[in-house]
A and B are shown apart, each in its own frame.
Chain A
Amino acid sequence: SQQGEEDPQALSIQEGENATMNCSYKTSINNLQWYRQNSGRGLVHLILIRSNEREKHSGRLRVTLDTSKKSSSLLITASRAADTASYFCATDPNFGNEKLTFGTGTRLTIIP
């Protein structure tokens, strides 16, 4: 399966609730990044967590990384309608190349 797979594929929650998305990957990484994409737009970088970090916060975002399980989670607290978007994780491998590998994404819908 593809490096960087998000779970769930789609998530609908009420405004004000917390949203959690998960990402699994296969290879050794230097860092893992989360991006957001509004419909029909380019991706926007949200947060980067390095392989030696376990948790990172940015505003209402909280990212965790478990390198032993090769997984990461993105938590959005107190969700807003404007958080409706697709969210992608991307892994930066430890060795070689200049490429990020993007997951398949989670489509988040916040219901007002």
Chain B
Amino acid sequence: SQTIHQWPATLVQPVGSPLSLECTVEGTSNPNLYWYRQAAGRGLQLLFYSVGIGQISSEVPQNLSASRPQDRQFILSSKKLLLSDSGFYLCAWRATGSRGTQYFGPGTRLLVL
């Protein structure tokens, strides 16, 4: 069966520090991968998605970047965090070419101070 992992679960970082959040998927090949951000009590904002290794689409201009160095690995990064980067970050995968379900990881709560 497929599983999706995210880490860390919680992160407190000072403004101006770098960020690296990792997401890995097991049990499937060539998935579509997604990064979302969710503000407290709000909906999901799609940040990046990827349909293959090295292929990244950015949805909104921002202080963040994403990379997909391996088929089932998706990384969210920042060189210098802003206060506004605080939030709940969710990684998700979906079978390539599928019109079906997205499967979400447990999320990373990021607090920038």
Looking at chain A's contact residues, is the secondary structure mostly helix, strand, loop, or mixed?
Answer: strand
Given the known interface contacts A99-B49, A103-B43, A104-B42, the answer about A42 and B102 at a Cβ–Cβ threshold of 8 Å is no
Whether A105 pairs with B43 at a CB distance below 8 angstroms is: yes
For B36, list chain A residues within 8 Å (CB): 102
Looking at chain B's contact residues, is the secondary structure mostly helix, strand, loop, or mixed?
Answer: strand
* Size of B's binding interface in residues, CB under 8 A: 25
Neighbour of A88 across the interface among B44, B92, B100, CB < 8 A: B44
For A44, list chain B residues within 8 Å (CB): 104
Whether A41 pairs with B107 at a CB distance below 8 angstroms is: yes
Known pairs A30-B99, A33-B102, A43-B102 / 17 extra A-B pairs, C-beta < 8 Å: A31-B100, A42-B92, A42-B105, A43-B92, A45-B101, A90-B102, A98-B49, A98-B51, A98-B94, A99-B34, A99-B46, A99-B49, A100-B94, A100-B102, A102-B46, A103-B43, A104-B43
- Write the A32-67 contact mask toward B (1 if CB under 8 angstroms, else 0): 010100001111110010000000000000000000
Residues on A lying within 8 angstroms of B by beta carbon are: 2, 30-31, 33, 35, 40-45, 48, 88, 90, 92, 98-105, 107
B32 located at the interface, meaning its Cβ lies under 8 Å from any Cβ of chain A in the complex: yes
CA distance A33 to B102 in the complex (A): 9
Whether A102 pairs with B90 at a CB distance below 8 angstroms is: no
For A104, list chain B residues within 8 Å (CB): 42-43
- Write the B72-113 contact mask toward A (1 if CB under 8 angstroms, else 0): 000000000000000010101010000111111111010000
Whether B99 pairs with A45 at a CB distance below 8 angstroms is: no
CA distance A102 to B109 in the complex (A): 20
Whether A43 pairs with B90 at a CB distance below 8 angstroms is: yes
